[in-house]
Structure 1
Amino acid sequence: IPAPLNGVVAILRNNDMLTWPEKIRFGIGLIPAMLQGQEYVEKMDRYTFSEWLKKQNVPPRVEKEVFIAMSKALNFIGPEEISSTVILTALNRFLQEKNGSKMAFLDGSPTERLCQPLVDYITKGGGEVQLNTPIKEFLLNDDGQVSGFLIRGLNGAEDRVITADAYVSAMPVDPLKTMLPKPWQQMEYFQKLNGLEGVPVINLHLWFDRKLTDIDHLLFSRSPLLSVYADMSNTCREYANPDRSMLELVLAPAKDWINKSDQEIIAATMAELEKLFPHHFKGNSPAKLLKSHVVKTPRSVYKATSGRQDCRPSQVTPIANFFLTGDYTMQRYLASMEGAVLSGKLTAQAITKASSANASTHLESHANLQPTTPKPAKNAATV
């Protein structure tokens, strides 16, 4: 069944989570978004999703049964914090795009199946990927444009400078804010970044002595601690195992857990798993945890609370040869890996446009810098 009929049929047929009166009330609440489209969705950024549900007279149980899990899956925070624009955009994608709700997994380690192919593609095209190359400072010309990236020397090596025709920051927004040159900090474009910050998240990898589930899909949890999880022995070829499960889970919201020990985090997660899989963790022969790994990310994707849309910058900055890319920049997939990838494409298009023979950009900063016209770019340095 094509979209949006497939989603509508699925919702109407599922009577385990919501009653018919709840479905009808929620459907009526969605009418403005359906009729007015993305323009309405963007305006709703002023409300959290909890506030939007109350505004639309949607029963509180709808939030509890459906949108706690969805909020945490989308931005690792609850509906009482997340911008209604985020969830309404996701619902719009699910309804309007044929594959909007389709899930997919890498068939192996991200290092081998995602990062290495990217490196191979770049080097095949004549580019270079330099690891262990921390940036120390954005160096500027007198006109405020970037003259180079100052690279910090490691293990006693001297600092060095990388120069290029175009410069890109692919850093998360938090470290970028600490590195902005003083002349840039006075510009409204960069000042808006102060309204953005990364959200903490914790990932867990747990190996068990038996199979916990045969479901080959991403699973959403209404647990107050866990967000989404998957049994990688079913979803990922590299971890395939017919007899033992390897769970990857997201702990969210993580702000109260990010500074706790791995042992505390694992213990709390196991307590939640006992509720999700009681028949495997209770009785005379409970499932045993064979191995575990905890990955903490104090600042991940930007925290998409209400009012953040106005803080998100375009990929083109007031600096003619300096561009931004990342999930926090303005693109339709918001705070996600897909959003980060899309922002990279938009940045590449912006560089191409700015460097074309017929294109000229006249951008004047709030620091009274002189308008500049970029020369055609032959290479770009991305940090």
Structure 2
Amino acid sequence: MNGRNASSLARTSKASCSSSSSRRRRRTTRTNVRCKAKDYPKPNLDVTSNENYQRAKQLSGKLSKNYSGKNKEKSVIVIGGGLAGLSTGKYLTDLGYSVKVVERLKILGGKVSAWQDKDGDWIETGLHIFFGAYPNMMNLFKELNIEDRLQWKKHTMCFAMQDYPGEFTEFWFPENVPAPFNMAAAILQNDKMLSWEEKIKTGVPLLPMLIGGQEYIDAQDELSVSEWMKKNGMPERVSEELFIAMGKALDFIDSDKLSMTVILTAMNRFINETDGSKTAFLDGNQPDRLCKPMKEYIEGNNENGTKGEVIVGMPLREIMIDEASNEVIGVRVGEGDEIMTADMYVSAMSVDALKLYLPTAWKTMPFFKQLDELSGVPVINVHLWFDRKLRPYDGLVFSRSTLLSVYADMSECCKEYENKEKTMLELVFAPCDAQSGAEVNWIKKSDEEIVAATMLELERLFPDEIKNANLLKSAVVKTPRSVYRAIPGRNKFRPSQSTPIRNFTLAGDFTSQKYLGSMEGAILSGKLASEVVDDRLNSSRETFSIPPKEVHESVLLRST
């Protein structure tokens, strides 16, 4: 798709796009949010009041402290080279084990992978934003000595105005004001989205979350966002103005189908951590700027000189088990069906891939049977290159669109992609199927139809600028199975990293950890899996000191 007038392309599209019907308020003065590209100082997350950061730091320290030179005699195979697999490999390296990470694709990263097109432009699997509320990820950047690769943006949340095309509004978090007062100030000072009455009716139902913490948040998993709002008397417009946008950004699902635990988890971090909602972009492509340092660390660039191996283009064929003990005796990999063996094995595959490769004898075990309740959600990442600047903004924007979740002008946000004359938008297209709330099964549509529908949405975001802009090219990346689908009631089925199989451990954002399906969840799952591996390789006990999580009774009943 080259050199076509963007406005013309959108108008001639036959793609059907439904528009939201929000209650309109009296029109205010036009708000054009513009931002000159500028990086902001790295927030000081390593403070005693930031309990989550300190907890993540302590876990990293514990794993490093448990290093033993004798561990190099013990081997671990990690299946999957995404963030969960690389995280597992990194922290097992800290412990001193001989690690081998095998990835089926020829590139690392999994859900954060990227590659170059014929023009040398990077095509990314997804638009990845780093939050201050990602304590394990922030510790990882520090441990790898790559903190300078994060480009921190101004502390604000930017939303497109649903009723007024071309207008945006921001929630500004004042500097040097601690949590939770900085978020309170951001919400109270914004008069474009919620009335004072709506703000009060929003705040009161959130008090139990502030008092009950994670226990309260976890208990809301059986309710969808809409069910929770109705139960707590929260105005419907709060969902229209905030929660729909947040839900689509966090898990690519409409709020009426999304577990309220997802929204509360994010809000709890944003409210209680001063820089929790502050965002950063990686300064370049993920394979080079994030995955490569992790690979090099595993392969010997670490203070202990522990040397492992990261192998790409090596797909898993079979998990081989001993029929008597059910323990893993090897994995069959690669085109030549090579057999690799180790003392311990870690699956860092997605839940959908794991289910495909489970040995038959394991599938009836309640622990693995619960995986039937989990599946990945589809998402589409759209890249659009324009011949001019549309409206420069250096940060993440919630589009508030029926079809689009969030977007960013990567020619402004990322140093490697910087362009002073042209625009490169990266947009998250979600939801993509009926189960996630879409009226059209977009994941099955052609790239041309998806781009045309996206262009129609851009007419609302940039009604003036889009008229004369020419779309130079586009790229569409479809991920049919992304993070696990966080519909109500899924948390009780998420497995622990510890499994009933003595020499088999799980990693992945679908496993049990409080950061749900996210980059942070993937990194944390790798740390927790490493902790399990270390416990089992250094224990002569028949029982595990880190036992598997109990399986929900509903699964046990089906398994009998």
**Shared fold (TM-score, shorter chain, > 0.5):** yes
1:136 pairs with 305, 311, 317, which one?
317
Structure 1 pair 106–46 and aligned structure 2 pair: CA distance change class (3 A): same
Give how far 1:208 is off.
0.6
- Give RMSD over aligned pairs: 1.6
2:523 pairs with 341, 345, 348, which one?
341
Which whole-Å CA distance do the structure 1 matches of 2:288 and 2:210 have between them?
42
Does structure 2 retain, via aligned residues, the 8 Å contact 1:315–1:350? yes
Give how far 1:213 is off.
2.4
| Residue 222 of structure 2 corresponds to residue 46 of structure 1 | yes
Give how far 1:100 is off.
1.2
Indicate the residue corresponding to 1:56 in structure 2.
Answer: 232
Structure 1 pair 364–19 and aligned structure 2 pair: CA distance change class (3 A): closer
| Residue 260 of structure 2 corresponds to residue 74 of structure 1 | no
Does structure 1 retain, via aligned residues, the 8 Å contact 2:432–2:442? yes
Specify which structure has the bigger relative contact order, considering alpha-carbon pairs within 8 angstroms and separated by 6 or more residues: 2
1:129 maps to a residue whose letter is: V
Which whole-Å CA distance do the structure 2 matches of 1:360 and 1:266 have between them?
57
Indicate the residue corresponding to 1:127 in structure 2.
Answer: 308
Partner of 1:271, secondary structure, is helix
1:271 maps to a residue whose letter is: L
Please say which of residues 182-191 and 48-57 is displaced more in the overlay.
182-191
Indicate the residue corresponding to 2:377 in structure 1.
Answer: 199
Indicate the residue corresponding to 2:459 in structure 1.
Answer: 274
Does structure 2 retain, via aligned residues, the 8 Å contact 1:83–1:305? yes
Q: Deviations over 1:215-243 (max 9, x none)?
A: 11111111000001100011100011122
| Residue 182 of structure 2 corresponds to residue 6 of structure 1 | yes
1:286-305 matches, within 5 Å, as 286-305=468-487
Q: Deviations over 1:14-50 (max 9, x none)?
A: 1100000001011111122122221111111110011
Which whole-Å CA distance do the structure 1 matches of 2:325 and 2:214 have between them?
39
Which whole-Å CA distance do the structure 1 matches of 2:243 and 2:274 have between them?
22
Which whole-Å CA distance do the structure 2 matches of 1:109 and 1:39 have between them?
37
> Which consecutive residues of structure 1, in runs of 5 or more, have no partner in the other structure?
367-383
Give how far 1:360 is off.
5.5
Which whole-Å CA distance do the structure 2 matches of 1:48 and 1:365 have between them?
24
Which whole-Å CA distance do the structure 1 matches of 2:506 and 2:470 have between them?
46
Does structure 2 retain, via aligned residues, the 8 Å contact 1:197–1:302? yes
Which whole-Å CA distance do the structure 1 matches of 2:345 and 2:399 have between them?
41
Indicate the residue corresponding to 1:234 in structure 2.
Answer: 412
Give how far 1:81 is off.
0.7
Indicate the residue corresponding to 1:23 in structure 2.
Answer: 199
Q: TM-score, normalised by structure 2?
A: 0.62
2:447 pairs with 262, 267, 282, which one?
262
Which whole-Å CA distance do the structure 2 matches of 1:235 and 1:107 have between them?
8
Q: TM-score, normalised by structure 1?
A: 0.91
1:192 maps to a residue whose letter is: Q
Percent of pairs with identical residues: 54
Which whole-Å CA distance do the structure 2 matches of 1:227 and 1:44 have between them?
24
Partner of 2:257, secondary structure, is coil
Q: Flag as ranges the 4+ runs of structure 1 deviating above 3 A.
A: 357-366
Q: Deviations over 1:102-159 (max 9, x none)?
A: 211111111211222222111113111111211111111231111111114x2xx3x2
Which whole-Å CA distance do the structure 1 matches of 2:316 and 2:531 have between them?
25
> Which consecutive residues of structure 2, in runs of 5 or more, have no partner in the other structure?
1-176, 301-305, 434-440, 551-560
1:229 maps to a residue whose letter is: Y
Which whole-Å CA distance do the structure 2 matches of 1:365 and 1:275 have between them?
48
Does structure 1 retain, via aligned residues, the 8 Å contact 2:495–2:549? no
Partner of 1:64, secondary structure, is helix
Structure 1 pair 62–364 and aligned structure 2 pair: CA distance change class (3 A): closer
Partner of 2:311, secondary structure, is coil
